[in-house]
Amino acid sequence: MTPLLSVQNITKRYGAHIGCADVSFDLYPGEVMGIVGESGSGKSTLLNCMAGHLTPDAGQVVFDTRTDGPRDTITMSEPERRMLSRTDWAFVHQHARDGLRMGVSAGGNVGERLMAVGERHYGDIRDKATDWLGRVEIDAARVDDRPTTFSGGMQQRLQIARNLVTGPRLVFMDEPTGGLDVSVQARLLDLLRGLVRDMGLSAIIVTHDLAVVRLLADRLMVMKSGCVVEAGLTDQVLDDPQHAYSQLLVSSVLQV
Amino acid sequence: MIELSNVSKTFTLHNQGSAVIEVISDVSFAVASGECVALTGASGAGKSTLMRMIYGNYLTQAGEIRIGDLDIVQAEPRDVIKLRRDVLGYVSQFLRVVPRVPTLDVVAEPLRAVGVSVEDAEARAKALLGQLNIPERLWSLSPTTFSGGEQQRVNIARGFARAYPAMLLDEPTASLDAANREVVLSLIEDAKARGSAIIGIFHDEAARARVCDREIDVSHFTPGMAA
């Protein structure tokens, strides 16, 4: 089987400082990978390099495109990469405000991605937007309201709807449940798990919440100081961590 | 179906003076299809450790653990994921679920994961929950608020939702009353009759005697505990 995403030797430096160093892995269709590590360990740098938001200093990010098979997304042209990020890729930001247009209605936020891939029939776009608001448990009556009138949890769910409406195959998530209260987190986790299963999504989730990765991720990578110190099955890394830093991380979690 | 050859495990505790603890050394045994083998030995002998090594959530330092055609010691994560989805079931002592997911969905999930339709998966889940005496009014609620025994039974229902060719059971009859214990034992007997290879830990001696064909005393393989 061809990996959906094959990351090879990604390195990003900020001057003399290392963002992330020499990271390689393969992600297969339907797999969810978690990336954990302390703040400043390079998780978000790595995610942004893979998603095309940052240009790495070295390495390849090979994505199995629908039309042309595996392509290195770093060397592909800007319009091609933009098309990819509007269709097969999705990026869920930690702060919903970074991923939404706050001055546009909820329906408009979802519809924009559809229009970007060529849909023009207003009625169809509105129907799809309404359908997706329902899937992320936002009342259809709020379709014309702006996200500024939504709670933080609703904004995050709207961001997810906006991202998934075009049926992407790969979703990048940066702390998708960070900053939400625990009951909203639980609902979002359930939603994400259902979507991953029913749509066959692959996802890469950056978080520092080990409980979230245990429930969502099949595989886990532990980062420290820009390097991957351990990688493996999620429950293996959490139950039998091998590296000193992973052991410290796992043993530092407070029991509820 | 399940075959262990010269399997050893050590824990290295980097943050506690790099202590190296040898927990299992040089275990070899095999379990055939339709056979149930009990792991025995005193508390701390390494029964659960050995079971987790077979499931793959503990790493094995030496030896080979074959389940079907796959050596889980060397396997890639995605092969282990596939093995767990298709071949190897595990009933742990603790239920771990996404909060707020209804019990029925928790039990039906292993079936949904292999593409069984919602209706068929739910029908199987309902049958199992009924068999295990979970009252129907609880099916739409999340098991996180259930009693210990109820959670254990939900866990068992989930574990037996699919007819896995190989199963690991960690104290499946603990904290159950006589009627439910009987249901679980008959589920195990059904699985054996279907040809599942089963490895179990049972503190309940009568249960062990009834469903297990052989016993393996893990303390023989525990360095420093050998009798």
Mean pLDDT of A162-183: 84
Residues in A touching B99 (Cβ below 8 Å): 186, 189-190
Residue B5, amino acid: S
Task: Mark residue A165 as left, alpha or beta (left: phi above 0; alpha: psi -120 to 50; beta: remaining).
Answer: alpha
Burial class, B214, CB count within 10 angstroms (exposed 0-12 / middle 13-18 / buried 19+): exposed
- Rounded to whole angstroms, the Cα distance separating B113 from B111 reads 5
- Using CB atoms, pick whichever of B14, B52, B77 lies closest to residue A232: B77
Name residue, tokens 């979507």.
Answer: A195
Mode of pairing for the β-strands spanning A32-36 and A202-206: parallel
Model confidence band, residue B60 (pLDDT cutoffs 50, 70, 90) = very high
Whether pLDDT at A256 is above 60: no
Question: B99 and A189: CB-CB below 8 Å?
Answer: yes
Mean pLDDT of A73-86: 90
A202-254 pLDDT, tens per residue? 999 998 888 888 888 899 999 999 999 999 999 999 999 999 999 998 888 77
Mean of pLDDT over chain A:
89
Prediction ipTM score: 0.86
Q: How far is CA A94 from CA A173, B62, B100, in A?
A: 7, 42, 23
A116-162 pLDDT, tens per residue? 888 899 999 999 999 999 888 889 999 999 999 999 889 988 998 99
Q: For residue B39, what are the β-bridge partners? A: B216
- Rounded to whole angstroms, the Cα distance separating A115 from B49 reads 54
pLDDT at B226: 47
Whether pLDDT at A77 is above 60: yes
Q: Does B100 touch chain A (CB under 8 A)?
A: yes
Two tokens, residue B138 = 């609880």
Strands in chain B per DSSP E: 2-13, 19-31, 36-40, 62-67, 70-71, 88-91, 166-170, 197-201, 214-217
Two tokens, residue A134 = 């329902």
pTM for this prediction: 0.87
Residues in B touching A232 (Cβ below 8 Å): 59, 77
B110-153 pLDDT, tens per residue? 998 888 899 999 999 999 999 999 999 999 999 988 988 899 99
Percent with pLDDT over 90 in chain A: 60
Question: B58 and A239: CB-CB below 8 Å?
Answer: yes
pLDDT at B223: 80
Neighbours of A86 (CB within 10 A): 16
- Rounded to whole angstroms, the Cα distance separating A227 from A2 reads 25
- Rounded to whole angstroms, the Cα distance separating A238 from A226 reads 20
pLDDT at B70: 92
Mean pLDDT of A56-74: 91
Q: Are A36 and A15 in contact (CB under 8 A)?
A: no
Q: Does A242 touch chain B (CB under 8 A)?
A: yes
- H or E segment at A205? strand A202-206
Q: Are B88 and B166 in contact (CB under 8 A)?
A: yes
- What secondary structure letter does DSSP report for A254? P
Interface test with A, best of B53, B80, B88, B112 (most A CBs within 10 A): B80
pLDDT at B44: 83
